[in-house]
Structure 1
Amino acid sequence: MITCAKYGIFKTQHPAHLSSIKSSPLIHALLVTSEPKGFKSATKNPAWLAAMDDEMKALHTNHTWDLVPRPFSTNIVGSKWVSRTKFLSDGSIDHFKACLVAKGYTQLPGLDYTDTFSPMVKASTVRVVLSLAVSHKWPLRQLDVKNAFLNGILHETVYMEQPPG
């Protein structure tokens, strides 16, 4: 009989129960760092305020919106802040990321939008490219395009509430 333990397959445990590895930077970061759930809790920490400021600068730099008077009888989409802690491969904290997002679930189909589409690459395509690179000994590089989603073109006119603060 082959058991899971023979192959080193074990059920994962919550980090709080792993007293023997609490000295790990990843475990420490997970236990100590809490992500704010909203704007009020984020304003209590200078690191999250700086992350929100960076997001606002990126939105202004990319001319994401124009401030206009509130139109009468138009659906206004709400906004909120979403906060995430980004970690390095060793588990230490890389940076704090705050994103201003629209509450898209308040949009009305046919009125606020017609189609939704998000370009994504298939996992099989990534595997083919990686296997070609390995077999031909091509060098691999990785890059991150900050705020890449801000470069898309929105064909509809969407009215969104100003973010809090």
Structure 2
Amino acid sequence: MISWPHPHAHITSTAIPAEPTSVNEASKFPEWRKAMQLEFDALLSNKTWTLVLPATSQNLVGCRWIFKTKYISDGTIESRKAHLVAKGYSQLEGLDYSETFSPVVKPTSIRLVFSVAISSG
């Protein structure tokens, strides 16, 4: 007995993937190419990095693209985001870096500092 319609009858290869797993896959679609271009332009305008020639003794840190689809509460697509991230796991402490710094402050940290300041007068 044949069930109709076949469950895979409406799947096409031209559909935009929700979140591509590679640059090659993403570059086939104008929406993802635009998201990658916006991210790259933002990195350049913020002067996030400068291109320099590497020394032979340096361990080079690679990068990769991460793709994310943002949805509105009704399930429709709001936007497509692409982020270029460093492969920090390829670094070795003491060889490639000696300390780390994160400029992000969590609200709980701010509350803690305020409570210590208030309690100590």
TM, length-normalised to structure 2: 0.68
CA distance in 2, matches of 1:116, 1:96: 30
Match of 1:59 among 22, 27, 43: 43
| Matched position secondary structure for 1:97 | strand
> After the TM superposition, which segments of 4 or more aligned residues of structure 1 sit over 6 Å from their partners?
none
Q: What is the CA distance between 1:49 and its match in structure 2?
A: 0.2
Change over 3 Å in CA distance of 1:113–1:96 after alignment to 2? same
Show the counterpart of 1:106.
90
Written as runs of structure 1 = structure 2, the 5 A alignment for 1:50-89 is 50-89=34-73
CA distance in 2, matches of 1:47, 1:67: 27
Show the counterpart of 2:3.
none
The question of 1:121 aligning with 2:104 is answered no
Runs (5+) with no aligned partner, structure 2? 1-15, 112-121
| Matched position secondary structure for 2:53 | coil
Q: What is the CA distance between 1:115 and its match in structure 2?
A: 3.6
Q: What is the CA distance between 1:112 and its match in structure 2?
A: 2.3
Show the counterpart of 1:144.
none
Change over 3 Å in CA distance of 1:41–1:33 after alignment to 2? closer
Greater relative contact order, per chain length (Cα 8 Å cut-off, separation 6+): 1
CA distance in 1, matches of 2:65, 2:51: 19
Show the counterpart of 2:21.
37
Letter in 2 for 1:121: P
CA distance in 1, matches of 2:51, 2:72: 37
Aligned residues: 93
CA distance in 1, matches of 2:60, 2:107: 32
Letter in 1 for 2:73: S
Runs (5+) with no aligned partner, structure 1? 1-31, 126-165
CA distance in 2, matches of 1:83, 1:106: 21
Show the counterpart of 1:95.
79
| Matched position secondary structure for 1:76 | coil
Letter in 1 for 2:62: G
CA distance in 2, matches of 1:91, 1:37: 21
Change over 3 Å in CA distance of 1:71–1:104 after alignment to 2? same
